[in-house]
């Protein structure tokens, strides 16, 4: 005859995690469990009212844990009520064994454990029930342990393991394995709670780089379970979120924040490869951004008003670039060049096309910068007119003819413009007279003549020209090229002559020029009739008595030929007896209508003291001579 049982007991709800009281609840739960297995009292088969009572009692028992201000209820497993009639004991044993084989251990009154508990309630020495309950406990231990080790669907697995642990705790509260398993369940529950909290934080973008949020929760989970894959995945997700922040910041050119976020990401876990890859991506963003700013800046510089926007691009690039970035260096260098040289570069050589199809004289770009102009107070041979020494700065470079203007250059001007220079109109100029060894007025001499009145070579520097002749040539050349040519200012001339040096002479402080450095009055120079200079550089000879063809000697440090010798040269300034109140920006010091002008630079017949870098001299504006020529500058 089959055993009579009450209707199937209701399954237990899954217990929720309790983060603060779980350790205390574990101990209290054990204390509230009955020492022997607490089975429901066995009653004779009951009628319908009894079955209704059993149905109502087939729920999980509850233990209330009181505190000062609140109470918490903790679930216990209460076996479903089972009623076994006296003549149904054998059948109940068979039903329990069958349920065990089918894996139905505790869910309802027909399961193995409730049946064995009911049998032991009838007879505490029922060996079959004792043995069966022992087998059920072992199986529950194994199944619960397997659930806790399941890598996937941890939440469901831990919920089921928790239910099984409650059953084990009810039937074997003193078993060490059960207690150990219960601790594992509680740790797993707490880890799941931390993981769930961390995932909620991630969804809310509370990553926790400041010590709170997702990272903290996942680390708490790993502290409970170092092998918790879900927590490790959570930390990886938090790291990825921080990396995304870094990359998003980089895309908005906020590389300071990008670096901060990436540094925070590097603290999350030991993932050097991931961080290194992210760093490379951010640096690619930086490089692409800098390349874009450089290219846009260079395009700006190609437009007439592009300097200001190009500088703004440079400011943006400097803000995001690492020190020494070559791309930023390219843009800075190009802006620097445009600022100081326009479309040119320092030392660039060029010549402008003329309207008649020819080319103007060769020019070279003089670097911008500053220098100390004039002679020092203690400089030997200096005059008051060369003082006081004062600082002059050129914020922009300028182009200067590489050599003095040649006879060929001047001829093109005269023939094209039908000009009549001063010496041509006047019919005479000052030449060197070989017979007397003096400079004398000679008829029939003009720009076509050499130092001695003979016809000049086309490559000779043009001489016998007044300052106004030189200015008229500059006006003509400006009209021919569409560029602005003019005589150099006195400051520009001395700046170009010194070429970065600061000595007494253009070559330094040595009292004798370096060999073949220029056309100066040398003690070894000899005239066609054998004359020698009375006041000359001892031991120096350049092989010329008179001006040499332009470019016959080595250029100075800035690529200019003959600027310190060969011919003295007209400059744009009017004569002033000193440099007091002289312009500091290098502009010509010019008074309209002035007749006394300035010549600069040594010449083939100057005394050594007149070859000094600071030497200057006053000349009437109508003067023409075999010792004076000129060169031009052009704005860039």
Render 197-239 in DSSP notation, one character per residue.
HHHHHHHTT---TTSSSHHHHHHHHHHH-TT-HHHHHHHHHHH
Residue 523 and residue 30: Cα distance in Å, rounded?
121
**3-state class percentages of the chain: helix first, strand second, coil last, to nearest 5:** 40, 10, 45
Q: Are 485 and 569 in contact (CB under 8 A)?
A: no
Distances (CA, A) of 500 to 199, 369, 510, 552, 633: 69, 9, 16, 22, 18
Q: Quick one: pLDDT at residue 212?
A: 81
pLDDT digits (tens, 9 = 90+) for 50-85: 333 333 333 333 333 333 333 344 578 999 999 999
Using alpha carbons, select from 600, 630, 628, 596 the residue that is nearest to residue 614: 600
pLDDT digits (tens, 9 = 90+) for 93-146: 999 999 999 999 999 999 999 999 999 999 999 999 999 999 999 999 999 999
Residue 407 and residue 457: Cα distance in Å, rounded?
7
Q: Percentage of residues in the chain with pLDDT exceeding 70?
A: 88
Question: Which pairs with CB-CB distance under 8 Å and at least 24 residues apart come from 413-418?
Answer: 413/472, 413/473, 413/476, 413/477, 414/447, 416/356, 416/476, 416/480, 417/472, 417/476
Distances (CA, A) of 157 to 31, 153, 166, 283, 372: 26, 6, 14, 44, 88
- By residue count, the chain amounts to 636
Cα end-to-end distance, the chain, whole Å? 120
Using alpha carbons, select from 135, 89, 90 the residue that is nearest to residue 112: 135
Q: Is 317 exposed, middle or buried (0-12, 13-18, 19+ CB in 10 A)?
A: buried
pLDDT digits (tens, 9 = 90+) for 299-331: 999 898 999 999 999 999 999 999 999 999 999
Bond from prior residue into 388 cis (ω within 30 degrees of 0): yes
Q: What is the SS3 assignment for 336?
A: helix
- In DSSP terms, 569 is beta-bridged to 600, 629
Residue 428 has, within 13 A of its CA and on its CB side, a CA count of: 7
Q: What is the SS3 assignment for 64?
A: strand
Using alpha carbons, select from 385, 363, 398 the residue that is nearest to residue 573: 385
Q: What angle do CA 315, 319, 323 make, to 5 degrees?
A: 110
Q: Quick one: pLDDT at residue 151?
A: 72
Q: Quick one: pLDDT at residue 7?
A: 32
Q: Quick one: pLDDT at residue 74?
A: 53
Distance of CA 535 to the CA centre of its chain: 63
Q: Quick one: pLDDT at residue 76?
A: 85
pLDDT digits (tens, 9 = 90+) for 456-502: 999 999 999 999 999 999 999 999 999 999 999 999 999 999 999 99
Residue 57 and residue 544: Cα distance in Å, rounded?
132
Q: Are 258 and 247 in contact (CB under 8 A)?
A: yes
DSSP 528: T
| Residue numbers of the chain with a pLDDT score lower than 70 | 1-74
Q: What is the dihedral of CA 603, 605, 611, 615, to 10 degrees?
A: -80
Using alpha carbons, select from 459, 414, 451 the residue that is nearest to residue 567: 451
pTM above 0.75, yes or no: no
Q: Quick one: pLDDT at residue 31?
A: 31
> What residues have CB less than 8 Å from 6, skipping those under 6 apart?
51, 54, 55, 58, 80, 81, 82, 83, 109
């Amino acid at each position: 005859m089959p055993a009579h049982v009450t209707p199937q007991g209701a399954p237990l709800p899954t217990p929720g995690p309790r983060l603060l009281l779980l350790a205390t609840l574990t101990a209290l739960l054990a204390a509230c469990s009955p020492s022997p297995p607490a089975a429901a009292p066995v009653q004779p088969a009951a009628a319908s009212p009894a079955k209704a009572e059993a149905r109502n009692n087939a729920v999980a028992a509850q233990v209330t844990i009181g505190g000062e201000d609140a109470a918490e209820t903790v679930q216990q497993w209460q076996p479903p009520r089972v009623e076994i009639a006296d003549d149904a004991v054998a059948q109940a044993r068979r039903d329990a064994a069958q349920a065990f084989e089918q894996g139905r251990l505790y869910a309802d009154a027909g399961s193995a454990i409730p049946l064995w508990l009911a049998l032991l309630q009838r007879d505490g020495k029922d060996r079959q029930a004792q043995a069966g309950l022992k087998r059920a406990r072992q199986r529950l231990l194994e199944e619960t342990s397997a659930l806790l080790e399941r890598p996937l669907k941890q939440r469901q697995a831990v919920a089921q393991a928790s239910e099984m642990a409650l059953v084990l705790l009810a039937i074997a509260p003193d078993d060490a394995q059960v207690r150990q398993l219960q601790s594992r369940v509680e740790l797993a529950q707490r880890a799941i709670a931390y993981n769930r909290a961390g995932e909620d934080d991630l969804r809310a973008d509370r990553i926790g780089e400041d010590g709170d949020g997702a990272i903290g929760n996942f680390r708490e989970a790993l502290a409970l379970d170092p092998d918790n894959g879900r927590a490790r995945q959570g930390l990886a997700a938090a790291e990825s979120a921080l990396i995304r922040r870094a990359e998003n910041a980089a895309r908005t050119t906020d590389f300071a924040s990008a670096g901060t976020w990436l540094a925070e990401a590097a603290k999350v876990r030991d993932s050097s490869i991931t961080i290194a890859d992210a760093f490379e991506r951010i640096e690619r963003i930086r490089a692409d951004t800098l390349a874009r700013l450089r290219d846009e800046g260079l395009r700006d510089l190609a437009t007439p008003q592009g300097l200001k926007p190009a500088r703004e691009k440079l400011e943006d690039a400097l803000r995001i670039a690492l020190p020494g970035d070559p791309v930023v260096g390219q843009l800075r260098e190009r802006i620097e060049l445009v600022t100081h040289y326009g479309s040119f570069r320092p030392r660039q050589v060029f010549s402008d096309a003329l309207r008649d199809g020819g080319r103007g004289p060769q020019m070279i770009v003089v670097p911008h910068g500053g220098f100390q102009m004039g002679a020092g107070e203690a400089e030997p041979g200096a005059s008051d007119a060369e003082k006081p020494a004062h600082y002059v700065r050129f914020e922009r470079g300028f182009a200067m003819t590489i050599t003095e203007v040649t006879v060929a250059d001047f001829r093109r001007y005269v023939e094209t413009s039908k000009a009549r220079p001063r010496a041509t109109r006047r019919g005479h100029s000052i030449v060197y007279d070989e017979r007397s060894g003096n400079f004398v007025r000679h008829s029939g001499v003009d720009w076509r003549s050499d130092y001695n009145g003979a016809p000049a070579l086309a490559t000779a520097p043009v001489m016998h020209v007044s300052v106004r002749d030189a200015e008229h040539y500059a006006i003509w050349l400006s009209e021919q090229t569409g560029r602005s040519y003019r005589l150099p200012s006195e400051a520009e001339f001395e700046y170009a002559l010194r070429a970065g040096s600061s000595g007494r002479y253009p070559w330094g402080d040595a009292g004798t020029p370096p060999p073949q450095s220029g056309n100066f009055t040398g003690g070894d120079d000899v005239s066609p009739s054998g004359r020698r200079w009375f006041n000359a550089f001892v031991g120096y000879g350049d092989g010329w008595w008179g001006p040499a063809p332009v470019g016959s000697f080595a250029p100075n440090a800035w690529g200019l030929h003959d600027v310190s010798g060969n011919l003295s040269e007209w400059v744009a300034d009017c004569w002033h007896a000193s440099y007091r109140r002289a312009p500091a920006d290098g502009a010509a010091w010019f008074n309209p209508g002035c007749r006394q002008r300035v010549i600069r630079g040594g010449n083939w017949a100057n005394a050594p003291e007149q070859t000094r870098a600071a030497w200057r001299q006053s000349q009437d504006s109508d003067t023409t001579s075999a010792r004076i020529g000129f060169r031009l500058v052009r704005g860039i």
